[in-house]
Amino acid sequence: MNNKEFILKFIEEVFNAHDLSKLDDYMREDYMQHSVEAEDGREGFRKFAEGFFKAEPYMDVKKVFEADDTVAVFFECRFKGGHRAKVVDMYRIQDGKLAEHWDVVQTLTEDDAVNNGRGSF
């Protein structure tokens, strides 16, 4: 499995399934986090995800890019209640597991599709 396939599998099995039971298979214990919303480490991610999953997120992947040991995923994240966000997550993979993460998140509103006529995606 290449790094892009690994990340897509992680998104489906952990994020979209809201299942942290396989986290040890995907993530290094010393996972480094650059997001302001989560702490470092596998347990920091677990703590973040337990709260995040309460909003029932679903990640609809639009594009995936790979360069060396890093994969970037561009997706729409939809939440219960109709909230949406445009997101880019970047992951560095080391020894077959997630080692580091960065993200950029833009909350979307109904006006976003109107401003340029092309929509957000």
* pLDDT score, position 72: 98
CA distances from 115 to 76, 82, 109, 112, 119 (A): 18, 19, 11, 6, 8
- Poorest-confidence range of 35-39, 65-69, 105-109, 110-114? 110-114
Q: Does the reported pTM lie above 0.85?
A: yes
* Ordered domains of the chain (ranges, CATH): 3-108 (3.10.450.50)
pLDDT category at 109 given cuts 50, 70, 90 is confident
On the 0-12 / 13-18 / 19+ scale of CB atoms within 10 A, 119 is exposed
pLDDT category at 116 given cuts 50, 70, 90 is low
14-69 tens-digit pLDDT: 999 999 999 999 999 999 999 988 999 999 999 999 999 999 999 999 999 999 99
